[in-house]
Amino acid sequence: MECQELLILLDKDRRMKNILRLIVFVCFVNTISAQQIPLTSQYMFNNYLLNPAEAGSVDYMPISLSARAQWNGIEGAPKTQFFSAHSKLGQKMGIGGFVYRDETGPINEQGVQLSYAYHLSLNDDAKISFSLAGQLFFHGINRAYLRPDEGDDAALNTLKVNAISPDINFGILYYTDKYKVGLSSPQLLQNSIYSSTEDIDSPKLARHYYLYGEYEFGMNDKIDLVPSTLVKYVAGAPFQFDINVKALYNKKYWIGASYRYNNAVVGMLGLNWKNLSFGYSYDYNLTDIADYSAGAHEIFLTYKLMKKKGEEAKRFD
């Protein structure tokens, strides 16, 4: 049984709560290394969250804030927030960073990333960038959430409830004004997270691989169409992929849709107003959790600092 299903049972059957809390504890400690790094459904509007090589790939500084709430109405449902910014540094360099917070059941995670990218021109249109980023993760477990109302548990008493782990993210990006392809691999060091008893192995941060691409089609003077895809892989877990499409009208309004394999269908809409961009998305779950949850809601807000007039016509971000 997956951790998500256990969270449903915790909310559905109060009589089983004490027992299931302990099961959730074992589930999270043994499988946390296989979990995906939290991502937003609207990452295609902020690819820097996927790849540090995106830093400095546009001629302005995007400052973005996003908030996501999954499985509304279920106790312990995931909640995630991101804040990011990146910018050019001269003609060939880019710098950037993000911070995030993610909570799911007894697990809470915070992270920070600072990155440097170097951009090379291949011809008049195409560029390639390489990036290395330092990451720092803060991990915590709420033992009050896990502890049964009666009795005690030795594993909970010996579990290290707070931990800090440094890591590295590497990325490559090939891009033009019309299309791009990126590859990144965060958590390269695969550090251990928590110290625990001999009976429960201390989990490690798993190395992730992201491969993504998009192409912008100018359908006419008013409409632009941008299909994109993202492939995610973690060792020991099956490949995951998203297929997305977004349409922009008059460079101001957009709608979009996404299919996350065996997981969800996502609808998106938003607008550009001067230097501001706003977006909203709703995830409709395709798994059994849809019987207990209304899905996921997400919003993002981006301010494009130092954006030149007409820049939106050059690059659709």
Query: For residue 242, with 0-12 CB atoms within 10 Å meaning exposed, 13-18 middle and 19 or more buried, which class applies?
Result: buried
**pTM, two decimal places:** 0.84
Q: How high is the pLDDT of residue 259?
A: 97
Report whether pLDDT(255) > 60: yes
Q: Between the CA of residue 309 and those of 58, 254, 277, what are the distances in Å?
A: 13, 19, 15
On the question of pLDDT at 269 being above 90, the answer is yes
Start-to-end CA distance of the chain, whole Å, equals: 39
Instruction: Report the CATH number that the domain containing residue 300 is assigned in CATH.
Output: 2.40.160.40
Predicted confidence band of residue 122 (pLDDT cuts 50, 70, 90)? very high
- In which domain, by residue range, is 177 found? 3-313
Distance CA 244, CA 44 (A): 9
145 falls in which pLDDT band (50, 70, 90)?
low
Q: What are phi and psi of 24, to 5 degrees?
A: -60, -40
Band of residue 36 on the pLDDT scale cut at 50, 70, 90: low
Average pLDDT, the chain: 83
The pLDDT of residue 24 is above 70: no
- Torsion angle of the four alpha carbons 8, 66, 96, 315, in this order, in degrees rounded to the nearest 10: 120
Mean pLDDT of 139-148: 69
Per-residue pLDDT of 155-195, as tens digits, reads 555 555 678 889 999 999 999 999 999 999 999 988 877 55
Compute the average pLDDT of residues 281-299: 87
- In this prediction, residue 29 carries a pLDDT of 47
Domain count, the chain: 1
What pLDDT sits at residue 299? 98
pLDDT of residue 195: 52
Residue 304 predicted with pLDDT over 90: yes
Instruction: With a cut of 80, say whether residue 62 has pLDDT above it.
Output: yes
